[in-house]
Amino acid sequence: MIDVLFAGYSYTHKDGLVYDTDKGYGGYDCYQMIYTHTPAYFQVDGKLTLTPAKSVVLFTPEHRKYYTSVPNEPYTNDWIRFKTDEGFISSFPILNTPFSPHDPEFVHELIKLIAWESNAPDSPEKESDIRELFRVLMTKLSDEAPDAQMSPYHNELKELRRDIMHHPEADWSIELMASRLNLSRTRFQTLYTETFGNTCTEEVIEARIKLAQERLLYTGHSVAEIAESCGYNSTEHFCRQFRKVIGITPGQFRKNSKNVK
């Protein structure tokens, strides 16, 4: 049995939101699933923790539900408040802790369908349809739970890393990368290294040198032109980093490749 009490999606609180069942908001005695479209703070183990946009949290009955928008910013979310005795929900592996699903748009669409179905006129199929939608949603999230526990920013870090690899010539300063995830420099660098094993700076350098190798091999541009096109303001700095990574200078690399041919 799943009894949906309230459900909605894509609602924006233009002036922000502070939701706290200890301060009179409803939902203390039931489950509550939240999907965030914007960054928000959630209380986890007694401490407010900033979580990225496109996060999910499943609150259990009798658990304080306390979350708040980023100060002075609007807050948008989807939500389902419900009661149930279904084992596939009570046994969900991540409870009362936000995490980032791998396919957030799929999660959003399922919550939207549950909201539509719960607000539809009663019918013989309504209860079973809602249960099936919940089963699909919870199965999807349960399959992703082990990876999601790595970091609430796992998906955003993967997107950032992909962008670095595709466009290494961009201005990938630590400040810019950290601000993209709304994190401090220290927190961002720690999470990045824990997730990928390399520092963000190391990966930017490696991606730029790989791009430089391709341009040295397949274009006739000068070393200075290639340095600039790979994101370096100084040719000398580029040459030092290239030699440190590859073991020879860019000029020697180009010459050796011609001799091989």
In the predicted structure, residue 146 carries a pLDDT above the cut 60: no
* Closest CA relative to residue 56, chosen from 68, 74, 73, 40: 40
Check whether residue 136 and residue 187 sit in a common domain. Answer: no
170 and 238 part of one domain? yes
If asked whether residues 184 and 236 sit together in one domain, one would say yes
Point out the domain boundary residue: 144, 176, 201: 144
Phi, psi of 242 (to 5 degrees): -60, -45
Pair 192, 252 in one domain: yes
**pLDDT tens figures, 168-198:** 999 999 999 999 888 889 989 988 888 888 8
**Per-residue confidence at 2, pLDDT binned at 50, 70, 90?**
very high
246 within some domain: yes
Domain check: are 82 and 203 in the same one? no
Residue ending a domain, among 80, 111, 144, is: 144
Task: Return the C-alpha torsion angle 101, 136, 29, 112, nearest 10.
Answer: 80
Q: Are residues 162 and 256 in the same domain?
A: yes
Are 254 and 184 members of one domain? yes
The CATH number assigned to the domain holding 170 equals 1.10.10.60
Predicted confidence (pLDDT) per residue in 65-98, tens digit: 999 999 989 999 999 999 999 999 998 888 998 9
Q: CATH number for the domain including 123?
A: 2.60.120.280
pLDDT higher than threshold 70 for residue 46: yes
Amino acid identity, residue 87? G
pTM: 0.66
Rounded Cα distance between 175 and 180, Å, is 9
CA dist 238 and 217 (Å) reads: 16
Pair (162, 229) in one structural domain = yes
Structure tokens at 96: 């009362």
Do 83 and 172 reside in the same domain of the chain? no
Say yes or no: 114 and 189 in one domain.
no
Domain of residue 215: give its range. 154-260
Task: Specify the number of domains making up the chain.
Answer: 2
Co-location of 229 and 256 in the same domain: yes
- Are both 172 and 243 inside the same structural domain? yes
pLDDT at 221 over 80: yes
- Does some domain include residue 184? yes
**Which of 166, 140, 157 lies closest to 193 in space, CA to CA?**
157
Single residue among 144, 168, 194 that ends a domain in this structure = 144
In a domain, 149, yes or no: no
